[in-house]
Amino acid sequence: MRDTVRGFSRSAAISAVLAATTAAAVACSTSGTVRAGGAAGGANPLTGTGSGPATSASGPAPTGQSLVSGRQGSPTTSASASDVTVTQGEAAAALGAYQSANNTVNAALDIPGEAKIESGSLLTLDQGSLLYYQGIGGAKAAQSKAPVTFADPVFYIARSIAYPRGFYVTANAVQPGLPDAGSLLHFTQEQAGAPWLVDTTLGLTAGRQWPAFAVGADGLLDYTATQLTRLPLDTTDLAVADRTLLTGDDAGTPGSPFVSDDVTTAERKWIQDDTSGVSPATVTLTVSTATDPLPTYLPLKDGGELAIYGTRLSLRATQAGRTFTFADQGWAKVAGAQTAEGGFTTDSVWMVAAVDPPEKSGKIQKIAYNGGLVSVEH
């Protein structure tokens, strides 16, 4: 799926109106050059929304399988171990198959079909998007069905000695009627012969480019350049830091690990839109202390790493005796009702890519994201 960030918008007349921006389906293409090194750039966020529980099994660990597989562990190059490293041909074929299948799923607004090509938080986001389009219909649903291609893909693969295995790809997402978007996707394969699933899709913010990733002479990601013993923040600290940032707006201040950037602005806008029009209702924001997906890392050519992780936000609005109205039919379908009595809870998932500089005293810079509303409960 390819979406723009969506969130709640309120008005005094209806107490609580769920609103969404124009969105469209994301798929993949093998058009363009297949290369082992280099980096592709682009602009504009690529985001999605969805419903259901977010899941992930990715994250760093001292030893084990490749970080690029989306599972715990760091790459290993043991000569005695088997080698199931993804080839350029396999990566290109997986990308092409995803393009075809995802365009078919989106054209049919096929929610169960999404689970055959995606997993984890991305599946959570995109299944909710399809549900939304089923409810909204009209021009928005038609736009979501338009095919998308990925131009000039560049594959980044780490050596893998066991399944699950995986790879990253950067490309420019192209769709009629929308600006091109510089994107990064992560593919995983659980075991030999299993389908390739996409568990991460991220889009660059305006004016950004992907940093140069560290690639060795063998064309594979060079994790010797990554400071694996000095990761940017542990999984709990990442979420706690985001909570402080989102509720206190302290990006760029001496005590914040993050510089001020567009991704934080987008996250804060979602919160502000949700809280600006519900007074005198009580509004409580919760940022989960667990990141989902757990952090994975891409080594950077000049040192440091690109950290990819997710944060889940929950917003609870309550007022005894009050009727909150979900006037937008798309979100009403996600909520399963037109109204909620006494209050409701929204959940949002934000997947973020942030540059962690080699000097750990430097601030982390968010450059890409994918996120939005994933569920409404009442």
Higher-pLDDT residue of 37 and 88 is 88
pLDDT exceeds 60 at position 21: no
Average pLDDT, the chain: 75
The pTM for the full model equals 0.78
| pLDDT tens figures, 54-67 | 222 333 332 333 34
Cα–Cα distance for residue pair 72/57, rounded to 1 Å: 7
Most confident of 71-75, 237-241, 249-253, 345-349: 345-349
* Largest interatomic CA distance in the chain: 69
pLDDT computed for residue 310 by the predictor: 85
Predicted confidence band of residue 276 (pLDDT cuts 50, 70, 90): low
Higher-pLDDT residue of 277 and 163 is 163
pLDDT computed for residue 46 by the predictor: 25
Higher-pLDDT residue of 286 and 174 is 174
| pLDDT tens figures, 197-213 | 999 999 999 889 999 99
* Residue 82 near residue 162 (C-beta atoms within 8 A): yes
Most confident of 80-89, 147-156, 267-276, 340-349: 147-156
pLDDT computed for residue 313 by the predictor: 82
Most confident of 141-150, 152-161, 219-228: 152-161
Pairing of strands 296-299, 305-325: antiparallel
pLDDT exceeds 80 at position 10: no
Q: What percent of the chain has pLDDT over 90?
A: 37
pLDDT computed for residue 166 by the predictor: 95
pLDDT computed for residue 272 by the predictor: 73
pLDDT exceeds 60 at position 248: yes
pLDDT exceeds 60 at position 375: yes
CA 324 to the chain's CA centroid: 29
pLDDT exceeds 90 at position 268: no
Predicted confidence band of residue 215 (pLDDT cuts 50, 70, 90): very high
Cβ-count burial of 154 within 10 angstroms (0-12 exposed, 13-18 middle, 19+ buried)?
buried
| Average pLDDT estimate for 155-180 | 93
Cα–Cα distance for residue pair 177/185, rounded to 1 Å: 22
